[in-house]
Amino acid sequence: MGKKKHGKSGVGSKPPEWRPDEFTRARIERLRAEGAPHEEVLRAGLHALGAPEMPPDLLRELAGMMRNAKSGEEFADSIFIGDCPFCGFEKATNCEDEPGIENPMVGYCPACKALFCSECRTRMTREKSECANPDCWFNAPEGTPYPGSEHFRDD
């Protein structure tokens, strides 16, 4: 019996949808309505998720990414997919809606047409859109904690 992997095709299972409580939702909406800096809105959202306090320079960088993104999906891709590991293109996307792949953890570069694992950056192909790197967290046995996750709250 083989080891069970994290989700579909060994790449990330879909987490339960997170919904903020009423207090958090009201706080974030108030910050937006008041035209608060992106840093404050981001800090409120991260606090609601239980993230530890973030260094100011990292918070500014994330807020800049949020400000420059044309959509929430583009912002999420800039964090979870990142730049193309092969050509450096800054607008790589996920493959959640890509026919035949349909996996948000697979990155796609529109500039050089590369497919890659968003976690370990291993190159993939349309024929083999599963990560082949045995050391990648996506291929770890189910229940393996994500590296660094011990810094987040459980509540």
Q: Are strands 123-124 and 93-95 parallel, antiparallel or unpaired?
A: unpaired
Do residues 101 and 124 share a domain?
yes
Query: For residue 111, what are the contacts with CB-CB under 8 A and spacing of at least 6?
Result: 84, 87, 89, 91
Q: Please indicate, yes or no, whether residues 77 and 54 belong to a single structural domain of this protein.
A: no
Domain shared by 75 and 64, yes or no: no
- According to DSSP, the residues that pair with 123 across neighbouring strands are 116
Give the residue, 107 or 34, on which the prediction is more confident.
107
- Does the CA dihedral 43-44-45-49 come out positive or negative? positive
Please state the domain count of the chain: 2
Same domain, 77 and 118: yes
Mean pLDDT, residues 130-137 taken together: 91
What is the reported pTM? 0.66
User: Residue 124's domain spans which residues?
Assistant: 71-129
pLDDT digits 0-9 by tens, 31-83: 778 877 777 877 877 777 777 777 888 888 888 888 888 888 898 898 899 99
Inside any domain, residue 145: no
